């Protein structure tokens, strides 16, 4: 809200305030080779680990604390806010870009403005400035004209609205606004934008004027036609007060009931102002907006479509109409050669959140089309292309190769957030691009650079997430892991409500070290108490209860359990448990002897605490331990049987513990007859388990027919 009031020159000045002091890693890595942690936490390094360890880390980094134990943050004060906020090294110009699009098109000339461009030149000649006493005796029009004339002088010399010499004028003007005509009111609103920004939105003269203008404009809103409503709203945008003004919110409420009768340009401009207020009222029927957009889409340019997409995305209003989605993708594909990067970004963000699973081929087709344009897109747009298929797990290897290569070539010029998001996408697809140099080594090295410290200090979540994604892929940069698990980093993460989900990632990182981390790791770990607390907090729940209350995955787990139990000879031969307590989905465990015959799971295993790591018990050399991973609908890359990164990590870690791992793909198991499901299990168990499967389908059918709750299914 406050940052909208920062002019670009001020933002640049704020960026210059960023300190080059290293503040992040010292505690996590200074003692990296000097301290011994719990020896039983160390296991053999993962074979895929291609990192050289910690020798590249910059040991000169220093970590400083304030009284609360957090990192000192580089800050600046926002104009018109009076509050302290983080300086953004990359300013957000989306709204300015969208407004520039509107200003460039004739359809919006009458309803958009730039700062002060509606103030008439006639006011230049009114040079007499009234004293406070004279102001009280002047008409509302005279006071307004005096303020407008004075505002014009701000073009030529610096002036401070909060100077005491203007207090009387501002006070009288604020009280007189209701007496002005609509045109005079708009001229005053325009004139106010000519003054240099004050130190906060709450400074006395400024707040008196803009609050009174806000109140007066809002009172008149229902008397105005849509063109005047938009014109006034655009003046609020020029003042950078759209987000906090009552007028903008009330205008979107009033016009929200008129979307079905809006022309193409009106619909675009309405969604632009909705974007500024970040909300569409619940009573506004989103289906009506989509229906109207279908009708007018052919009359809009792809740049206007970008403005519309930004409005939908920023108000968290995602598309439901499959026809509209198809039309937007078609229009985007036809315009890829000349669409601006910012507009394409907005469109891709909206599509990523809107396209349903049944339309996944449209996204793959769009990625095919985008492949030809990747060479000219900027990095922000390339990132949105990389993320486009994430929601539906649509993997396009050629696109990801090109983007990874582009990122690798200019990684030092990228934001930490961009690096984190690309690493996430590659982890999700469990994909190592063939391009050289290796993107993951570059990511790790970039996280070590002292120039990144201020950015990491501001956005620690990005740093920790990057480290977690690398370990998910089986890569273990020990110095970075230690920095991510150092107490100061954990304290910083716990202090922000925006990082409330990071406990899960930190817990996963520590458990991953336990299972497959390098034996020589001597960096920071979670304390036993902290890990126990986080494991308990994020532990999943075993499926139980009536079927109508279960998720798709829970129903699938129980179905596999029933069929597998019948194949093994009864439920006593298996257990549903969280073998890996840091992963929320449970697995099915069973044992066999050397001949492949099922044997009872030992009681010692059955009674292990839910939050413990369930390693196979080597009570007998004849025992063979098996884990069955039930891979639900979100476990595979779209239209393949390739596991997504998190599930592949689970399979890898179960194997590391000593289990023979079988993956049951829902695509081959779901919606089949009982015999078909048993045959599916027979096939995957024959490939991945120690079970002798011959003849078990027929014996399972006999057993299932004897169970009352299975009889109807078997007969059907």
- Residue 27 in contact with residue 71, Cβ under 8 Å? no
- pLDDT score recorded for residue 635: 96
- pLDDT score recorded for residue 65: 31
Using DSSP's 3-state secondary structure scheme, residue 619 falls into: coil
Place 134 in a pLDDT band, splitting at 50, 70 and 90. low
Q: Which DSSP string corresponds to 396-455? A: -HHHHHHHHHHHHHTGGGS-HHHHHHHHHHHHHTT-----SS-HHHHHHHHHH-GGGHHH
- pLDDT score recorded for residue 548: 84
Q: Which one-letter DSSP state was computed for residue 316? A: T
Q: Which DSSP string corresponds to 221-262? A: GGGS-HHHHHHHHHHHHHTT-TTT-HHHHHHHHHHTT-GGG-
Place 245 in a pLDDT band, splitting at 50, 70 and 90. very high
In this structure, how many other beta carbons lie within 10 angstroms of the beta carbon of residue 165?
A: 11
- pLDDT score recorded for residue 322: 96
Of 47-61, 400-414, 446-460, 699-713, the least confident? 47-61
Residue 696: CB partners within 8 Å, gap ≥ 6? 567, 568, 678, 682
Share above pLDDT 90 across residues of the chain, in percent, rounded to a whole number: 71
- pLDDT score recorded for residue 136: 62
Q: How does pLDDT run across 175-211, given as a tens digit for each residue? A: 999 999 999 999 999 999 999 999 999 999 999 999 9
Q: How does pLDDT run across 29-85, given as a tens digit for each residue? A: 333 333 333 333 333 333 344 454 444 444 334 333 332 222 233 333 333 433 333
CA-wise closest residue to 186 among 150, 138, 136, 238: 238
Q: Omega before 437 cis (within 30°)?
A: yes
Q: Is the pLDDT of residue 26 over 70?
A: no
Provide the Cα torsion 98, 104, 105, 109; round to 10°.
Answer: 100
Using DSSP's 3-state secondary structure scheme, residue 306 falls into: helix
Distances (CA, A) of 252 to 256, 257, 582: 6, 9, 45
Q: Is the pLDDT of residue 609 over 90?
A: yes
- Residue 628 in contact with residue 669, Cβ under 8 Å? no
- pLDDT score recorded for residue 194: 93
- Residue 613 in contact with residue 640, Cβ under 8 Å? no
- pLDDT score recorded for residue 123: 44
β-partners of residue 643 are 636
Q: How far apart are CA 378 and CA 342, in angstroms?
A: 9
- pLDDT score recorded for residue 285: 85
Q: How far apart are CA 402 and CA 404, in angstroms?
A: 6
Place 129 in a pLDDT band, splitting at 50, 70 and 90. low
Indicate the pTM of the whole model: 0.85
* Average pLDDT value for the chain: 84
Region 461-467: mean pLDDT is: 96
Place 125 in a pLDDT band, splitting at 50, 70 and 90. very low
Q: Is the pLDDT of residue 90 over 90?
A: no
Q: Is the pLDDT of residue 472 over 90?
A: yes
């Amino acid at each position: 809200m406050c940052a909208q009031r920062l002019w670009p020159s001020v933002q640049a000045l704020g960026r210059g305030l960023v300190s080059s002091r290293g503040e992040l890693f010292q505690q996590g890595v200074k003692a990296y080779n000097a301290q011994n942690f719990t020896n039983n936490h160390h296991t053999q390094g993962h074979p895929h680990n291609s990192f050289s360890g910690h020798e590249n880390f910059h040991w000169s980094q220093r970590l400083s604390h304030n009284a609360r134990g957090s990192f000192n943050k580089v800050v600046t004060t926002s104009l018109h806010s009076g509050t302290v906020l983080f300086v953004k090294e990359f300013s957000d110009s989306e709204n300015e870009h969208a407004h520039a699009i509107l200003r460039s098109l004739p359809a919006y000339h009458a309803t958009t403005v730039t700062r002060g461009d509606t103030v008439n030149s006639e006011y230049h000649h009114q040079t007499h400035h009234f004293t406070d006493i004279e102001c009280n005796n002047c008409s509302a029009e005279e006071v307004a004209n005096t303020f407008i004339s004075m505002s014009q002088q701000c073009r030529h010399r610096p002036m401070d609205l909060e100077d005491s010499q203007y207090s009387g004028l501002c006070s009288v003007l604020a009280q007189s606004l209701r007496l002005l005509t609509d045109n005079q009111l708009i001229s005053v609103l325009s004139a106010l934008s000519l003054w240099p920004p004050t130190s906060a939105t709450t400074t006395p003269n400024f707040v008196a004027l803009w609050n009174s203008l806000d109140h007066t404009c809002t009172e008149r809103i229902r008397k105005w036609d849509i063109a005047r409503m938009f014109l006034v709203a655009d003046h609020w945008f020029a003042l950078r007060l759209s987000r906090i003004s009552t007028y903008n919110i009330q205008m979107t409420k009033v016009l929200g009931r008129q979307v079905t009768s809006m022309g193409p340009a009106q619909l675009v401009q309405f969604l632009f102002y909705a974007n500024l207020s970040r909300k569409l009222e619940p009573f506004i029927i989103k289906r009506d907006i989509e229906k109207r957009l279908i009708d007018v889409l052919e009359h809009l340019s792809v740049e206007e479509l970008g403005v519309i997409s930004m409005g939908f995305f920023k108000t968290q209003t995602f598309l439901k109409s499959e026809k509209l989605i198809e039309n937007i993708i078609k229009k985007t594909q036809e315009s890829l050669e000349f669409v601006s990067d910012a507009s394409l970004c907005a469109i891709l963000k909206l599509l990523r959140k809107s396209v349903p699973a049944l339309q996944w081929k449209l996204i793959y087709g769009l990625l095919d089309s985008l492949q030809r344009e990747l060479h000219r897109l900027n990095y922000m747009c390339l990132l949105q292309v990389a993320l486009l298929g994430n929601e539906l797990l649509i993997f396009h290897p050629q696109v990801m190769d090109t983007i990874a290569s582009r990122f690798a070539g200019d990684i030092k010029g990228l934001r930490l957030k961009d690096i984190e998001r690309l690493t996430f996408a590659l982890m999700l697809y469990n994909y190592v691009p063939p391009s050289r140099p290796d993107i993951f080594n570059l990511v790790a090295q970039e996280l070590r650079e002292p120039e990144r410290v201020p950015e990491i200090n501001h956005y620690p979540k990005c740093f920790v997430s990057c480290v977690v994604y690398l370990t998910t892929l089986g890569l273990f940069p020990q110095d970075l892991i230690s920095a991510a698990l150092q107490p100061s980093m954990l304290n910083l993460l716990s202090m922000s409500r925006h990082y409330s989900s990071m406990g899960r990632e930190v817990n996963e990182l520590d458990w991953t070290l336990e299972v497959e981390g390098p034996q020589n790791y001597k960096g920071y770990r979670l304390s036993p108490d902290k890990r126990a607390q986080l494991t308990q907090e994020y532990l999943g729940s075993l499926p139980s209860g009536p079927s109508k209350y279960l998720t798709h995955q829970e129903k699938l787990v129980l179905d596999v359990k029933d069929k597998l139990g019948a194949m093994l000879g009864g439920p006593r031969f298996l257990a549903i448990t969280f073998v890996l307590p840091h992963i929320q989905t449970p697995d099915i465990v069973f044992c066999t002897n050397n001949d492949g015959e099922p044997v009872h799971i030992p009681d010692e295993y059955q009674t292990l605490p839910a939050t413990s790591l369930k390693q196979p018990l080597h009570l007998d050399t004849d025992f063979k331990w098996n884990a069955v991973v039930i891979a639900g609908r979100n476990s595979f890359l779209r239209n393949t049987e390739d596991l997504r990164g998190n599930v592949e990590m689970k399979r890898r870690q179960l194997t590391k513990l000593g289990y023979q791992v079988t993956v049951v793909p829902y695509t081959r198991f779901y919606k089949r007859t009982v015999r078909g499901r048993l045959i599916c299990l027979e096939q995957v168990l024959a490939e991945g388990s120690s079970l002798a499967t011959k003849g078990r389908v027929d014996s399972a059918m006999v057993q299932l027919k004897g169970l009352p709750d299975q009889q109807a299914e078997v007969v059907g």
